[in-house]
């Protein structure tokens, strides 16, 4: 076997350090699945969330299973808070290799038509869902440079294809940030990609789209394979984008949605 042959070890993250924002807020969440999945692949994980108790719960779960994790209370919309998150990461694990910009407002942003949304609410939404990802990415870059490169994965949504809510607008804008940062950071050996989940059976997802809702029933008839998935169904895509297996992938949005984007 030549040294160039692919092996499954290229999906391992041993010795890597990852931050997952929004990883502790809501029980069965995508953020929790991401944090646990990265830890199971060998990474040391910073479980970051505005909800301190939730972050501590997920970090304890990882540590109890033999992984390495710390909990950090962080507000991604606040530059001082994000700087403190980076300092805590450096102090605990000596650097940073992976940033997963998962934290977002969702349930709070769906339901009110855009034309009826107050400007204050819209600006708050964009501050978290878009500007927060930029604040965190900017703060991560010096740590990446100290390690020779890094990976950023932004959390999009099937709700942005096409955008039909202010939440969807924020996710389309985040796609633009993804391709822009991929262009700007590529020469620094930083890959920037995104995952766009479909309807996910997280606690938040079930609250937003309960099984009996007309939207879900319509999707059941239109989606080509599987209308709804579990948070764990997204972890494989995350590991591809964060690991050496994905070193040649940047500026991409990966739809993980059972074919939701192809609905007709």
d(CA 142, CA 185): 11
Closest CA to 57 of 104, 23, 16: 23
Closest CA to 33 of 208, 264, 239: 239
Strand 17-21 relative to strand 98-101, pairing: parallel
Other C-beta atoms lying within 10 Å of the C-beta of residue 262:
12
Helix, strand, coil in percent for the chain, rounding step 5: 50, 15, 30
To the query of whether residue 34 is one of the catalytic residues in this protein, the response is no
Catalytic pick among 34, 93, 161, 167: 167
Contact 201, 227 (CB under 8 A): no
Active site residues: 167
């Amino acid at each position: 076997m030549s040294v160039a042959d692919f092996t499954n070890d290229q999906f391992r993250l041993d010795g890597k350090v990852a931050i997952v924002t929004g990883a502790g807020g809501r029980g069965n969440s995508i953020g929790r699945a991401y944090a646990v999945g990265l830890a199971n692949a060998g990474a040391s994980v910073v479980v970051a969330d505005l909800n301190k108790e939730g972050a501590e719960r997920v970090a304890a779960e990882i540590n109890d299973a033999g992984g390495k994790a710390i909990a950090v209370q962080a507000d991604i919309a606040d530059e001082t808070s994000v700087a403190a998150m980076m300092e805590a990461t450096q102090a605990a694990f000596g650097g940073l290799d992976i940033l997963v910009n998962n934290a977002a407002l969702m349930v709070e942003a769906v339901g009110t038509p855009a034309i009826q949304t107050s400007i204050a609410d819209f600006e708050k939404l964009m501050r978290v869902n878009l500007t927060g990802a930029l604040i965190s990415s900017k703060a991560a870059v010096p740590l990446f440079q100290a390690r020779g490169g890094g990976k950023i994965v932004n959390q999009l949504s099937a709700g942005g294809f096409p955008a039909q809510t202010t939440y969807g607008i924020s996710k389309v804008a985040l796609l633009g940030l993804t391709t822009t940062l991929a262009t700007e950071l590529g020469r620094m050996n930083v890959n920037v990609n995104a995952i766009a989940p479909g309807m996910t059976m997280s606690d938040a997802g079930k609250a937003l789209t309960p099984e009996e809702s007309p939207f879900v029933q319509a999707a059941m008839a239109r989606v080509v394979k599987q209308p709804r998935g579990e948070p764990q169904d997204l972890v494989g895509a995350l590991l591809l984008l964060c690991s050496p297996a994905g070193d040649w992938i940047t500026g991409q949005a990966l739809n993980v949605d059972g074919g939701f984007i192809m609905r007709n």
